[in-house]
Homo-oligomer: A and B are copies of this chain.
Amino acid sequence: MHRGRGHHRGPGGHGDPAHPRRIRGFVEPALLLLLHQGDTHGYDLASGLEGVGLDQYPVDPSTVYRVLRRLEHRGMILSAWDTEGASGPPRRVYRLTEEGREYLTAWVADLRATDDMVHRFLGAYDRTFPAESSEAGADSRAQYSD
Contact = CB atoms under 8 A, between A and B. Distances in A.
B143 A80 contact: yes
B93 A138 contact: yes
A60 interface: no
A51 to B, nearest CB: 8
Nearest to A36: B128
B16 A121 contact: no
In this complex, which of A99, A137, A139 has the most chain B Cβ atoms within 10 angstroms of its Cβ? Answer: A139
Contacts of A125: 33, 36, 104, 108
Contacts of A29: 21, 121
Contacts of A99: 8, 10, 14-15
Interface in A1-17: 2-3, 5-6, 8-10, 13-17
Contacts of A114: 22-23, 118
Contacts of A16: 74
The oligomer's copy count stands at 2
Interface residues of A, number: 86
A125 to B, nearest CB: 5
Contacts of A74: 8, 16, 18
A30 B124 CA distance: 10
A-B residue pairs, 5 tightest by C-beta:
A8-B75, A53-B120, A53-B117, A80-B142, A93-B142
